[in-house]
Amino acid sequence: MKKSMWNLIKTASMLCIFGLPMSYASANNYAYDSDDTYTNGSDYQMPIGIPAPSFGLVETHEMYQGQHYAAGGFDYRDAGNGPYTHYLDNTDPNCTDTDNEYGTAATPRCSFIPYNSLPLVEGSVVEIHGGPYMTGGTHYIIGEGTAEKPVFIRGASFANKVPLVDDADDLRIQGFYFIMENLDINETQVLIFRAPNHHISIRGNNIHDYTLTALYHSSLISTGGWNGFSNDNIVFYNNEIHHAYKYDDPAVGVNHTKDNHGLALGSDVNHVWIINNHMHHNGGDSVQTRGLNLEYIYVGGNEMNNDVENAIDIKGSKHVIVSQNKMHGYVPGFDSDGTVAIGGHEGSKLAWFLFNEMYDGLVGLRVNDDVPTTVYVIGNKMHHLEYMGFQTRYTSDIYFMGNSISETPVGFEDNGSGTNTGTYQIHNNIFYH
């Protein structure tokens, strides 16, 4: 285990020993905050235990102010929303695609960049107004930037997101070093498609209302490797991801037959950041990790609530850190027993649950796998749960330290019927009713 993680465990333990349980500290008061500032990272504090991504959080198209766009042979233009190279507005009566490869504010393009003109090359900034631009069928966005000159595909502002896609089958994203922001994607499945793709940031978007009824275990947005290649260094930041399969509230009678998630990660994916998003009312989980060679997944600072199944379900992956999230509103319904979060599932290894808040459900956190696993549960606040705070089954090594469980009938339960041969380290927790 990395030294830094051991230091985290020791720090939590020492604070509890000295009468400062971490679950009462400011650590688990961290909450999703819709933030429209991307100019630098100083205003966003990374959740505890999660390293900052190398790309996708702090970059901004303003980096091109006063620069020359080599691919187009012209200086970056600016219509008041920062530099751009392509300008789209299909609601402008002056828009045209004829002899108008790039578009300007005076004469915008009417349609999105055609497939035969992709990929967007390094330094491209596509500023989008009007919309939508993609309906029905399958659509592609391909950006091939560099670390020094990333590609931006963006609505003009976070506050007024531009409808890019409406009621299409899917939107397939491919490439590297590019950022999509300030867009509205409705009734469409989003795929970071095939592989290899890397250093892609999906931030500040509204992705919602997916109703492709022919599929189980699908999601609003997902990524997985392909043909032996992997996808890596993907950032999902400050998005709202909600209503996969038009979720109905099971408390008032669910009318739901699919298991569609908000965000899903599959095999051959590594180094993914899911931070500061609001994910809710999805037909499966807000977040599910499920696959082989799926590792170094960071889920932090999100609010996840009122999904049909769980806030997060960690399956078949390893080195997953779930830190400072707020998770609530999980009741028994279709294919769910009302557990807020599940770790150590279907062969997953080394999950960390750090300083999260879990409430308004049946069970706060459950670890249930017949494959030996290790899970660290440190500094979490679990309260107002109908049945219990924490439950484990089968063979697991559990480090349960510095947590508080309150207004809940049962604090910690081993439900393995005597089959659990794992080791429990239960220290410095507070249990009270």
Gap between the Cα atoms of 157 and 165, Å rounded: 17
pLDDT tens profile 393-429: 766 789 999 999 999 999 998 876 556 677 889 999 9
The whole-number pLDDT of residue 306 equals 92
Note whether residue 84 is domain-resident: no
The whole-number pLDDT of residue 362 equals 94
**In sequence order, which residues have a C-beta less than 8 Å from that of residue 277 and are 6 or more positions away?**
32, 236, 237, 238, 239, 240, 241, 263, 302, 303
**Which range marks the domain in which residue 223 is found?**
31-52+136-336
pLDDT tens profile 231-275: 999 999 999 999 987 655 555 554 555 678 999 999 999 999 999
What percent of the chain has a predicted confidence (pLDDT) above 70? 82
How many residues are present in the chain? 433
Q: pTM for this structure?
A: 0.91
pLDDT tens profile 145-197: 999 999 999 999 999 999 999 999 899 999 999 999 999 999 999 999 998 99
What residues are paired with 366 via a beta bridge?
342, 391
Peptide bond into 250 cis (omega under 30): no
Cβ atoms of residues 185 and 165 within 8 Å: yes
The whole-number pLDDT of residue 40 equals 41
Element of type H or E holding 401: strand 381-401
Alpha-carbon Rg of the chain, whole angstroms?
22
Cβ atoms of residues 120 and 148 within 8 Å: no
- Domains of the chain: total: 1
Note whether residue 364 is domain-resident: no
Range 362-372 average pLDDT: 82
Note whether residue 108 is domain-resident: no
Note whether residue 238 is domain-resident: yes
Peptide bond into 196 cis (omega under 30): yes
pLDDT tens profile 308-358: 899 999 988 889 999 999 999 998 766 677 899 988 666 577 889 999 999
Note whether residue 383 is domain-resident: no
The whole-number pLDDT of residue 392 equals 85
The whole-number pLDDT of residue 337 equals 79
Note whether residue 128 is domain-resident: no
Note whether residue 214 is domain-resident: yes
Note whether residue 74 is domain-resident: no
The whole-number pLDDT of residue 334 equals 63
